[in-house]
Amino acid sequence: MKPNLKPIGNKVLRVVVNRRTFISTKEVAEKSGVSWNTALTYLRKFYNKGWLSKKSVGNRTYWKARV
């Protein structure tokens, strides 16, 4: 079943899925063309739904799709 996402959420998720390795919030924001805060909001939503894994290194958070 394909999730019904807003266009911005779709962009953010696509960047993470296409990466296949951990990617920082900053990089997701830059590659999807949204602000850092917007990227983080969607990344947290997707993480809470179980779609993403995350790891923290220092003050940075990295994300990876659970595919």
- Say if 1 falls within a structural domain: no
The Cα–Cα gap between 55 and 33 comes to 23
- Over residues 12-55, the pLDDT tens digits come to 999 999 998 999 999 999 999 999 999 999 999 999 999 999 99
Name the token pair of 37.
């805060």
According to the model, what pLDDT value does residue 20 have? 85
- Say if 46 falls within a structural domain: yes
- Threshold 0.75, pTM exceeds: yes
- Say if 2 falls within a structural domain: no
The Cα–Cα gap between 63 and 14 comes to 12
| Total domains present in the chain | 1
Q: What is the CATH number of the domain that holds 14?
A: 1.10.10.10
Spatial CB neighbours of 42, under 8 Å, sequence gap ≥ 6: 8, 9, 12, 13, 34
What b/e sequence results for 6-35 when a residue is b if at least 16 CB atoms lie within 10 Å of its CB, and e otherwise? eeebebbbebbeeeeebbebebbbebbebe
- Say if 21 falls within a structural domain: yes
- Say if 38 falls within a structural domain: yes
Confidence of residue 1 (pLDDT cuts 50, 70, 90): very low
Which residue range is the domain that position 15 belongs to?
7-65
